[in-house]
Structure 1
C-alpha cells in the first residue's frame, strides 16, 4: 500500500531559496567577467558558485571507430539536469576553497593528489538578473586517476542525494552525423553548464570551435 508523503512532490521544501540558480539560463542573461572583476564591491551581495571540469586526454578508439579525445566528467543532478561537480560558495569562503569542498562532497575528490587552484580557472560569468557569479575551472588528471575518481564517487557524501550518477561525455560523432556528442548536447543542462563545457573543450584544445559548431548544427535523422 502506498503512503502519501508529508511533503507533496510539487513542493521545493528547503530547496526553495536556491532552486532558481539551477535553472537553464539564456545566453542573454549572462556575460563573461574577469576573475578579478568579481571581487568588485558592487558584487559583494551576489551569490557565488564554482564548478569544475575534470578530464583526461586520451587517444583510444571507441569500438575501434570513434576518437574519444578525452574522458570528461559530468554528473546527473538531483533535479534531472546535467551539470558539473561544484556548487554554491559559503559566506566567508574563498572561491577555490569552496570548489574543493564541493568536489569532496559530491565526487569524493582526493585533495591529497589534486587541488583546484586559481591557475585552473577557465571562465567566469555574471548573471545580473539572479545576482549570481559563476566561476568555472578545469583540471587535467591521468586516466588512471580519472577512472579511480569515477569509482570513488559512489561513496561520496552527496551521492544518491545531490548527485544521481557520474556521466562520461561522448566526444565523438557517429555515422549518422548526430548520435554521440551532438545528441548529448540536446540534454537539459543546469544553468549555463553547457556553455562552460563548450568553452572548456576549446580552451583546453580537446575540440576545435569548428567541430563544436558542427555538433550544435547537427540534426537527428
Structure 2
C-alpha cells in the first residue's frame, strides 16, 4: 500500500483522527465543444469558499453515522439533491497532507467516485446553483473538469494549474487514470504544460505584488 494510504477498516479504527469524505461525480457525454472537440466526460468539482478547487463533501463523525451517510448529508447541503453514496463507490482513504513538513496530519480523507447518467449530472449542477443550502457560502459554484487539451494549453493543462485544496488534485489525477477517463500520456502532456503555465502565472503574481507594494508606499 502506498505511503499514507489506509484501508477503509484501518482508517476507521484510527484513534484521535478526524474524518472527511468527498466524492467525484461524473458521467459520459457525447457532447462536443464548438461542435468539434469531444468533451467525453462531465466531471464535477467545486469552487470552495476559500478560492480553492475541491470535491463536494466534508467532515463526518464515524461514531455517529457511517462515512457514506455523512457524505450523503454533506452532499445534500452543498448540492441540494439527495445522492446515495455506497461503500462500493469508495476508492481510497489516506492521511491528509500535513500543514507543515514537521507536523503530522490527524485528518483522514476518504475519496469516493460515483458514475451517473448525464441528465442526473446536469440536475446536480442546476440544484447546486439554486436550492443548495451552502451555495454562495461554503460553496461558490460547481465547475466541470475539461478532460481535453487545446492549443496554447487550454483545457486540462490550464485547469490543473489552478490551486486545489489538500490532495484534491492528486485525487482527480488518480481517478482519471483508474476509471480510464484520460490516458497516461494525455495526463503527462497536460501536467508538463501545466507546470509551464504555473511558472508564467507566478511571474505575473510577482509583478502584481511589486505594483501593489509601490501603490501602497505612495498612498
Work out whether the TM-score is over 0.5. yes
Count of matched residue pairs: 187
Query: Partners of 1:64 and 1:153 in 2: how far apart?
Result: 27
Give the counterpart of 2:91 among 122, 129, 143.
Answer: 122
TM-score by length of 2: 0.80
What residue is the counterpart of 1:7 in the other structure?
A: none
- Which is richer in helix? 2
What residue is the counterpart of 1:36 in the other structure?
A: 9
Query: Partners of 1:161 and 1:173 in 2: how far apart?
Result: 32
Matched, 1:171 2:147: yes
1:66 is displaced (CA, Å) by: 1.8
Does structure 1 conserve the Cα–Cα contact (< 8 Å) formed by 2:57 and 2:71? Answer: yes
Matched, 1:145 2:120: yes
What residue is the counterpart of 2:135 in the other structure?
A: 159
Unaligned regions of 5+ residues in structure 1, if any? Answer: 1-29
Larger radius of gyration between Structure 1 and Structure 2: 2
Give the counterpart of 1:80 among 35, 38, 51.
Answer: 51
Say what the alpha-carbon RMSD is for the aligned residues: 1.8
Query: Partners of 1:184 and 1:31 in 2: how far apart?
Result: 26
Structure with larger RCO (C-alpha < 8 A, sep 6+): 1
Unaligned regions of 5+ residues in structure 2, if any? Answer: 99-103, 201-219
Runs of 4+ in 1 over 3 A off after TM superposition: none
Query: Partners of 1:67 and 1:92 in 2: how far apart?
Result: 44
TM-score by length of 1: 0.80
